[in-house]
């Protein structure tokens, strides 16, 4: 009777306290702006299993990833064990109505698995604690809470083992028993220590109550620290964004102002300027941050000692949200701008929008959209724009390019080439060159190589010449949403008037914008990047690389081609088809490739020489000792070239686009484009 009352009291108090805490967090969540996340239920369930239950992303860290997986899966198995213990507080022989009886096949199997799993969890938690205390990885937050939680887990597992060992001992089993291997081994130790039944029973009861109560204590710690992700990670993954990674959210108020809608707010708020402007899903991300630091560990800004740390960005926002809970819930939050009062301005502008952080996050938190929406508020609402970016934005408004070069010079790169003006009736494809490959002297050579290859393969294509518009991608990533909308609307109207249906792009940024963002504004086209298109032409035999290029090259994956659009295969298929060419993969390649430093409008902003991302990236690429570096993006080409120049290696190594390498092998470009250094052994 005493046991039943005690157990009932513990459970009732603990769950009431947790319910109150959870209700507080839920109310705060509901104060966020609306977000629709209940579409495509089948896809969401699939992601839930792959990412959350099967922990798909964790093995990317080869040691601590599997250790965390063992703890997570162990807890799933041990939930049933905890329920049995709570039940035994009311009835000592509770076994789920015989289902988990040792005389039942299911019960026998479960208790054997549970016995092994509890020891695995004990070992995994011990290793995790040692990792924090001894190794102290820089990516992890130094937290007493984390150590406390691991100690609780270890104590729970040890207490559980003591209880079940006492049960085995009471049955007279004092030797190894395969159905409960570790419990029987501990029972054997009890016997060898000469412990009588009373002492073992007392030890078992201590273990029973320790485990039963610590689970409840653990539950009530969760809502007040980083371990809240134990509760929120599953729904956070289920409700994560299913849109293409390259599709940024729009701005409802800008949409209303553009449309001059009757319900447009008198004083619209653009972007995110205060904590309550975030959506409830953004706030759920803040709740769910595990503080594991994988995002920051792979962030190019953080890796070059800048102010941005994706982990700390979410933590700072979460702490601010919790601190202003009463004001947020009352709808009376005083005017406290997030930037710079909570988040430093440098943090917002450091981001390359490369998505390395999101690629690593094991609970599917997003970062880029939050940063861009905060930039949007600074630019659209407060007119606070870095001076270099402001110059580029004015150039886009005046001459449809961020260099502010006369748009009449846009087609000068094509001088001497066989280029046809686009005609929707006679041209199957529009070649969209983009601003960088139109105005940058070095990048223009990419466009020339692509044109020669398309003509060699007999492709039906055309070009807009001086009338080619700017896609607006840089403006959108730079926070100038209204500028982007103006250019997007103009470009879509131009394409529709000309009958454009298929587009070949040389720039991954243009590619991503046309493919993933223009459909939101009525511009749906078939879009392909030149590396994928050229790889298909090679596979079809329409392009035949014959000339040997006896070189070792290392390919740099552009973020907006790779992580954003899974465009890893095309460039490598082209390079592997060139006779004599050897591709040496960088350690950080494909979905773990570090950004060149030019994304997120950073290409047009100054950077401290000691913290330049492109220099860091070039160091990584050179570890393979290549003869040359290869890219597939005009921004990457410039950033990587500058990194080589900073090391006085540009003349020795050189840097080329994949299309240029293919054109040389097909006999369409002069081999002088190659650095004629002897191949390295």
pLDDT confidence band for 472 (50 / 70 / 90): very high
- Do 652 and 624 meet the contact criterion of CB atoms below 8 Å apart? no
> What is the tens place of the pLDDT at every residue in 560-594?
999 999 999 999 999 999 999 999 999 899 999 99
| CA proximity to 21, closest of 307, 287, 374, 291 | 287
- pLDDT score of 678 more than 90: no
User: 446: number of CA atoms within 13 Å, CB side?
Assistant: 33
Indicate the SS3 state at residue 580.
coil
What are the tokens at 136?
């102290």
- pLDDT score of 92 more than 70: yes
Mean pLDDT on 390-414:
95
| CA proximity to 25, closest of 274, 241, 225, 314 | 225
Mean pLDDT on 6-13:
96
- pLDDT for the residue 679: 38
Tell me the chain's radius of gyration from C-alpha atoms.
Answer: 30
Mean pLDDT on 283-307:
97
How far is 142 from 148, CA to CA, in rounded Å? 12
- pLDDT for the residue 359: 97
Average pLDDT in the chain? 94
What are the tokens at 141?
């937050």
Spacing of C-alpha 24 from chain mean position = 29
Handedness of CA 137, 143, 147, 153 (dihedral sign): negative
Residue 351 CB coordination number (10 Å): 28
> What is the tens place of the pLDDT at every residue in 204-217?
999 999 999 999 99
What are the tokens at 296?
């920051």
Indicate the SS3 state at residue 509.
helix
What DSSP character marks residue 603? G
Q: What are phi and psi of 629, to 5 degrees?
A: -110, 145
Indicate the SS3 state at residue 420.
coil
For the domain 395-536, what is the CATH code? 3.40.50
| CA proximity to 558, closest of 639, 652, 452 | 639
> What is the tens place of the pLDDT at every residue in 246-284?
999 999 888 888 887 777 777 888 999 999 999 999 999
Structure-model confidence comparison of residues 476 and 259, the more confident one: 476
Contacts for 76 with CB less than 8 Å, ≥ 6 apart: none
Kindly state the percentage of the chain with pLDDT values over 70: 99
pLDDT confidence band for 378 (50 / 70 / 90): very high
Fold of 538-673: Rossmann fold (3.40.50)
Handedness of CA 51, 54, 59, 65 (dihedral sign): positive
Mean pLDDT on 114-126:
97
- Do 628 and 381 meet the contact criterion of CB atoms below 8 Å apart? no
175-202 per-residue burial string, b: 16 or more CB within 10 A, e: under 16: eebeebebbbbbbbebeeeebeeeebee
DSSP per-residue codes, 308-374? --HHHHHHHHHHHHHHTHHHHHHT------HHHHTS-HHHHHS-----HHHHH-TT----HHHHHHH
- pLDDT score of 608 more than 70: yes
- Residue ranges per structural domain of the chain: 41-238, 253-381, 395-536, 538-673
Q: Which residues pair with 505 in a beta bridge?
A: 432, 529
User: 22: number of CA atoms within 13 Å, CB side?
Assistant: 14
How far is 630 from 621, CA to CA, in rounded Å? 10
CA distances from 656 to 64, 262, 639 (A): 38, 53, 12
How far is 67 from 140, CA to CA, in rounded Å? 15
Same fold, 253-381 and 395-536: no
How far is 296 from 310, CA to CA, in rounded Å? 5
> What is the tens place of the pLDDT at every residue in 125-183?
999 999 999 999 989 888 889 999 999 999 999 999 999 999 999 998 889 988 899 99
Q: Which H/E stretch holds residue 534?
A: helix 530-539
- pLDDT for the residue 255: 85
How far is 337 from 345, CA to CA, in rounded Å? 11
Indicate the SS3 state at residue 416.
coil
- pLDDT for the residue 681: 32
- Do 594 and 300 meet the contact criterion of CB atoms below 8 Å apart? yes
pLDDT confidence band for 677 (50 / 70 / 90): very low
Please name the residue that has the structure tokens 């792959």: 50
> What is the tens place of the pLDDT at every residue in 309-363?
999 999 999 999 999 999 998 877 667 789 999 999 999 999 999 999 999 999 9
Contacts for 89 with CB less than 8 Å, ≥ 6 apart: 3, 4, 6, 7, 8, 10, 212
Residue 95 CB coordination number (10 Å): 17
Spacing of C-alpha 559 from chain mean position = 12
Instruction: State in Å, rounded, how far the first CA of the chain is from the last one.
Output: 81
- Do 249 and 520 meet the contact criterion of CB atoms below 8 Å apart? no
Kindly state the percentage of the chain with pLDDT values over 90: 87
What are the tokens at 661?
């390498």
| CA proximity to 451, closest of 474, 424, 475, 433 | 433
- pLDDT score of 675 more than 70: no
How far is 87 from 26, CA to CA, in rounded Å? 29
- pLDDT score of 480 more than 90: yes
pTM over 0.75: yes
Fold of 253-381: Fumarate Reductase Iron-sulfur Protein; Chain B, domain 2 (1.10.1060)
- pLDDT score of 103 more than 80: yes
Handedness of CA 222, 223, 225, 230 (dihedral sign): positive
**Strand arrangement of the beta sheet that strand 461-462 belongs to:** 461-462, 429-432, 502-505, 526-529
- Do 657 and 631 meet the contact criterion of CB atoms below 8 Å apart? yes
pLDDT confidence band for 1 (50 / 70 / 90): low
Specify the long-range contacts of residues 136-141, CB closer than 8 Å, at least 24 apart.
Answer: 137/64, 137/293, 138/293, 138/297, 139/292, 139/293, 139/294, 139/296, 139/297, 139/311, 140/291, 140/292, 140/293, 141/226, 141/291, 141/293, 141/311, 141/315
- pLDDT score of 680 more than 60: no
């Amino acid at each position: 009777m005493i046991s039943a009352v005690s157990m009932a009291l513990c459970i009732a108090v603990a769950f009431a306290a947790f319910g109150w805490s959870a209700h507080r967090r839920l109310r705060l969540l509901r104060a966020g702006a609306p977000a629709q996340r209940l579409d495509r239920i089948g896809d969401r369930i699939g992601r839930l299993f792959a990412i959350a239950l099967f922990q798909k992303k964790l093995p990317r860290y080869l040691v601590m990833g599997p250790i965390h997986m063992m703890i997570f899966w162990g807890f799933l198995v041990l939930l049933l064990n905890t329920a049995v213990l709570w039940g035994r507080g009311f009835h000592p022989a509770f076994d789920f109505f015989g289902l988990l009886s040792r005389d039942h096949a299911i019960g026998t199997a479960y208790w054997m698995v549970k016995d092994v799993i509890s020891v695995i969890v004990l070992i995994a938690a011990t290793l995790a604690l040692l990792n924090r205390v001894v190794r102290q990885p820089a990516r992890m937050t130094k937290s007493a809470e984390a150590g406390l939680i691991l100690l609780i887990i270890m104590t729970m597992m040890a207490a559980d083992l003591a209880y079940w060992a006492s049960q085995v001992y009471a049955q007279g089993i004092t030797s190894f028993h395969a159905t409960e291997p570790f419990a029987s081994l501990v029972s054997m130790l009890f016997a060898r220590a000469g412990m009588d039944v009373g002492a073992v029973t007392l030890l078992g009861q201590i273990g029973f109550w320790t485990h039963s109560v610590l689970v409840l204590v653990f539950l009530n710690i969760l809502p007040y620290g980083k371990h809240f992700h134990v509760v929120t990670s599953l729904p956070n993954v289920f409700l994560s964004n299913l849109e293409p990674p390259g599709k940024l959210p729009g701005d409802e108020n800008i949409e209303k102002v553009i449309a001059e809608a009757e319900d447009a707010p008198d004083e619209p708020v653009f972007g995110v300027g205060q904590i309550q402007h975030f959506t409830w899903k953004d706030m759920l991300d803040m709740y769910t941050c595990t503080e594991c630091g994988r995002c920051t560990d792979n962030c190019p800004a953080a890796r070059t000692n800048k102010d941005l740390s994706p982990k700390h960005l979410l933590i700072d926002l979460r702490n601010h949200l919790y601190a202003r809970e009463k004001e947020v819930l009352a709808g009376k939050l005083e005017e406290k701008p997030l930037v710079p009062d909570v988040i430093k301005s440098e943090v917002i502008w450091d981001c390359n929008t490369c998505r390395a952080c999101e690629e690593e996050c094991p609970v599917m938190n997003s970062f880029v959209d939050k940063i861009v929406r905060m930039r949007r508020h600074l630019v659209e609402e407060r007119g606070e724009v870095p001076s270099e970016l402001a110059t580029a934005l004015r150039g886009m408004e005046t001459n449809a390019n961020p260099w502010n070069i006369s748009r009449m010079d846009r087609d000068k790169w094509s001088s001497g080439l066989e280029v046809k003006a686009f005609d929707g009736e006679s041209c199957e494809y529009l070649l969209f060159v983009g601003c960088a490959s139109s105005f940058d002297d070095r990048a223009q050579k990419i466009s020339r190589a692509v044109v020669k290859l398309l003509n060699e393969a007999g492709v039906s294509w055309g070009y807009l010449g001086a009338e080619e518009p700017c896609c607006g991608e840089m403006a959108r990533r730079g926070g100038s949403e209204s500028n982007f909308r103006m250019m997007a609307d103009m470009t879509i109207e131009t394409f529709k008037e000309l009958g454009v249906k298929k587009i070949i792009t040389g720039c991954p940024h243009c590619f991503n914008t046309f493919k993933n963002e223009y459909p939101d504004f009525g511009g749906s086209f078939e879009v392909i990047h030149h590396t994928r298109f050229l790889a298909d032409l090679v596979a079809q035999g329409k392009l035949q690389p014959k000339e040997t290029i006896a070189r070792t090259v290392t390919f740099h994956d552009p973020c907006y081609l790779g992580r954003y659009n899974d465009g890893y295969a095309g460039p490598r298929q082209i390079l592997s088809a060139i006779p004599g060419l050897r591709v040496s993969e960088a350690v950080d390649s494909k979905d773990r490739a570090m950004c060149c430093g030019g994304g997120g409008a950073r290409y047009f902003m100054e950077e401290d020489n000691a913290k330049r991302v492109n220099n860091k990236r070039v160091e990584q690429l050179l570890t393979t000792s290549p003869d040359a570096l290869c890219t597939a993006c005009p921004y990457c080409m410039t950033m990587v070239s500058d990194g080589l120049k900073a090391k006085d290696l540009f003349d020795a190594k050189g840097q080329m686009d994949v299309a240029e390498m293919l054109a040389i092998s097909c006999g369409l470009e002069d081999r002088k484009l190659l650095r004629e250094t002897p191949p390295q052994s």
